[in-house]
Amino acid sequence: MPVEEVITGLSEEEKGLAPLIQLVVEVRALPQPELSRAQVNVQKQKVLQAARESKLQRPEKSVWKPPNWPFATVLAGGLAFLVLVGIILTASLLWTGQHRANSALLVDANGYVEVASAKNADHWRALEQGDRVYAGQRIRTYPSSNATLRFVDGSELSLGPMTDLTFSQLVGNRSGSLQVLVSQQSGETTHQVVPFKNDTSSYAVQTPSGSASVHGTRFGVVVNPLDGVSHFAVSSGTVAVSSANREVPVSAGQVTTTRPNSAPETPAYMFDVTGILTAYSPSQLTVAGISIAITEMTEIEGEPILDRLIHVEGHVADGGVWVADFITTEAMPAPSSFSGAVDATGDRRGHLRASAGKRGGSFQPVGGYPWEGTCPGRPVQDFQLYRRAWAHRSCGS
């Protein structure tokens, strides 16, 4: 096979080996010294004569020197070639190892996960288990999809459904050093960061309203794609959350919220409750015997219904008041996806109304959220509801 076809067929990860392959081909093409049959016969006679003389007299002690025979040139050339090939193979192995260290391995994927070569790239391709992601690349997940990436030091990053992020920095080496900077635009991520082995390692997550830096911990980040509000919840260790030139430490069991151009909220201890809804009003609900306050910042997915199972995530505010951040009902009152022309959208806590195509009718989820982007007078493609907000992928014609 021509070397050009071999190089063309290399994968994205193997393209760095192209110069080494080309060098090996050029070395092999160099002329090698060869002996004629007459020279071989003369050499053979000299070897036999030297053997007979060695039996007749005892050799003197001296430093052995290679005879000036013609085949010595061939031997030297062959050895030089083997050494060069060894150097090239060693260099290629070192390059491959470092290239993989500067990446994240997709160890688990469910549903549909895509990657683009850059943050603003238009070309997306599907990611499969075993693929690698590099600095500068952008990843997104679709509804009911998730993925887990593992770094060279064993740290892991998990993406929930409808998550969109870019690796602004991804540098590692086989000694365990790691430098990661994640720019998360939407969705939910969980980070399991192993303790750093040196002072050069770093791991940070940036959102539209704040950032978090860690030194070995487990934490989660949720970003609302509509307003950039971000929630940082810590399971173990300590996370430094910063926004608007102010930084606050968030300890295990605590959560804080950041908003664009505002300092982080004072960290508060978080709670997670699942149970039967026994009382509900616009300002308060009772779940499993616990009274929980509802504020204008509480995000509700679905319609809370009495005597139905409900899930509440929140924080304990000053005075010991339990405040709901996210409320998720067990069953949604309307389908979670549709295609149709949008008639109108409400405000942050309003409704969304869309026509049902040529069949007529309307789609109006109660307690829904506005969606990302608009398609005035045009059908909406891939319209989805995921936990925090409505979102769509594209507009029809």
| Three-state DSSP state, 86 | helix
Q: What is the CATH number of the domain that holds 294?
A: 2.40.50.320
Same domain, 95 and 127: no
Say if 52 falls within a structural domain: no
Same domain, 298 and 166: no
| DSSP single-letter state for residue 215 | S
Domain that holds residue 278: 270-329
Same domain, 253 and 365: no
Say if 57 falls within a structural domain: no
375's CB contacts (< 8 A; 6+ apart) are: 341, 342, 392, 395, 396
Same domain, 81 and 2: yes
Say if 44 falls within a structural domain: no
User: For position 318, what pLDDT does the model report?
Assistant: 85
Distance (Å, rounded) from C-alpha 352 to C-alpha 368?
Answer: 7
| Structural contact between residues 246 and 263, judged by C-beta atoms closer than 8 angstroms | yes
| Three-state DSSP state, 18 | helix
Say if 85 falls within a structural domain: yes
Same domain, 234 and 357: no
Same domain, 109 and 242: yes
**Domain final position from 222, 243, 266:** 266
- This prediction has a pTM of 0.62
Same domain, 214 and 279: no
Same domain, 252 and 156: yes
User: For position 161, what pLDDT does the model report?
Assistant: 94
Say if 60 falls within a structural domain: no
Same domain, 256 and 282: no
Say if 55 falls within a structural domain: no
**Domain final position from 246, 266, 286:** 266
Same domain, 109 and 186: yes
| Structural contact between residues 363 and 383, judged by C-beta atoms closer than 8 angstroms | no
**Domain final position from 75, 101, 127:** 101
Number of domains forming the structure of the chain:
4
CA nearest to 17, candidates 117, 89, 105, 100: 89
Q: What is the pLDDT of residues 273-308, one digit of tens each?
A: 999 999 999 999 999 889 999 999 898 988 899 999
Q: What is the pLDDT of residues 174-232, one digit of tens each?
A: 777 899 999 999 999 999 999 988 888 999 999 999 999 987 889 999 999 988 999 99
Same domain, 185 and 75: no
Q: What is the CATH number of the domain that holds 248?
A: 2.60.120.1440
Below-50 pLDDT ranges, the chain: 91, 93-97, 331-397
